[in-house]
């Protein structure tokens, strides 16, 4: 059993949910979060936000699923990121679950 945590800007909501459907993941939780990035250490020319402190509407998903579905979803998320035309990406972390009920 694996626990997946996925974060993405709100614009990716449909893509993430479609990835769940594609990988036969029908149970998950999600909530709105504010993504934050401190760009104060970056040169102005490389900071496309134009400000030092950046907040963006994001979503965080929680999924408990089989090892196989977790791996397949990871590959799907990687594919989404490869084909993405914007700078932001979908982030996924997978962790093993020792016990669950």
Give me the CATH number covering residue 13: 3.30.70.120
* Residue 13 belongs to some domain of the structure: yes
What's the token pair of residue 98?
Answer: 């020792």
Give the confidence band of 88 by pLDDT, cuts at 50, 70, 90.
confident
Alpha helices per DSSP H over the chain? 13-22, 67-82
* Residue 76 belongs to some domain of the structure: yes
Per-residue pLDDT, 29: 97
Structural domain of residue 13, as residue ranges? 2-33+60-96
| Domain count along the chain | 1
Q: What is the mean pLDDT of residues 72-90?
A: 93
Per-residue pLDDT, 47: 47
Q: Is 39 left (phi over 0), alpha (psi -120 to 50) or beta?
A: alpha
pLDDT at 52 over 60: no
Per-residue pLDDT, 43: 53
**Residue 65 and residue 94 in contact, taking contact as beta carbons nearer than 8 Å:** no
CA 7 to chain centre: 3
Name the average pLDDT for the chain: 88
């Amino acid at each position: 059993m694996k626990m997946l945590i996925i974060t993405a800007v709100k614009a990716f909501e449909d893509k993430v949910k479609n990835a769940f459907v594609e990988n036969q993941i029908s149970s998950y939780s999600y909530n709105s979060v504010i993504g934050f990035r401190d760009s104060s250490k970056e040169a102005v020319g490389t900071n496309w936000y134009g400000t030092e402190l950046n907040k963006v509407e994001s979503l965080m998903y929680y999924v408990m699923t089989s090892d196989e579905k977790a791996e397949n979803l990871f590959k799907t998320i990687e594919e989404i990121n490869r084909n993405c035309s914007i700078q932001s990406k979908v982030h996924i972390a997978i962790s093993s679950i020792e016990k669950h009920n």
